[in-house]
């Protein structure tokens, strides 16, 4: 049973619009309207993207009157980095590995 936290985080970040929002939020929290502004897309579309980010835990929402303040929560990104780091060892010697495999499975003649 893999907890779905990585599922949601990876899925949320697979959309370029959402990654752009995350990047924007790295510079500081913002209101929904502020986040809509750079995009050529309806307000509602961005609002939906924010809900996806929120569900994935990448973003926290605090209501202040009629305004919602959206702040980055980098914890899921940290989890992703942790997951990816398991393959660091690979980043240097993948060609060696492939070679070794091909050698091991070479037809014996």
Partner DNA sequence: GCTATATTCAACCCATAGGTTGAATATATG
Partner DNA sequence: CATATATTCAACCTATGGGTTGAATATAGC
Q: Which two tokens stand for residue 42?
A: 């309806």
The pair phi, psi for residue 61, each rounded to 5°, is -115, 130
Q: Which residues pair with 31 in a beta bridge?
A: 69
CB atoms within 10 A of CB 19: 13
- Examine residue 67 and tell whether it contacts DNA (CB under 7 A): yes
CB of 101 to DNA, least distance (A): 13
The pair phi, psi for residue 69, each rounded to 5°, is -100, 125
CB of 50 to DNA, least distance (A): 6
Among 6, 32, 77, 80, binds DNA (CB under 7 A): 32
- Examine residue 32 and tell whether it contacts its own copies (CB under 8 A): no
- Examine residue 79 and tell whether it contacts DNA (CB under 7 A): no
Among 40, 44, 66, 91, binds its own copies (CB under 8 A): 91
How wide is the angle at C-alpha 79 spanned by C-alphas 4 and 63, nearest 5°? 75
Count the site residues for its own copies by CB under 8 A: 44
CA distance 104 to 15: 40
Q: Which two tokens stand for residue 97?
A: 């590995």
Among 19, 48, 51, 55, binds its own copies (CB under 8 A): 19
Q: Which residues bind DNA (CB under 7 A)?
A: 11, 14-15, 17, 31-33, 41-45, 47-52, 61, 64-68
């Amino acid at each position: 049973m893999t907890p779905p936290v990585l599922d949601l985080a990876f899925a949320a970040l697979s959309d370029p619009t959402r990654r752009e929002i995350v990047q924007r939020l790295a510079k500081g929290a913002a209101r929904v309207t502020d986040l809509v502004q750079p995009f050529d897309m309806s307000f509602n579309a961005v609002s939906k993207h924010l809900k996806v980010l929120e569900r994935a835990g990448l973003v926290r929402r605090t209501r202040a009157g009629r305004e919602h303040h959206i702040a980055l929560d980098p914890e899921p990104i940290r989890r992703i980095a942790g997951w990816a780091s398991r393959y660091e060892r690979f980043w240097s010697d993948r060609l060696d590995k492939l070679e070794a495999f091909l050698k091991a499975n070479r037809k014996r003649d």
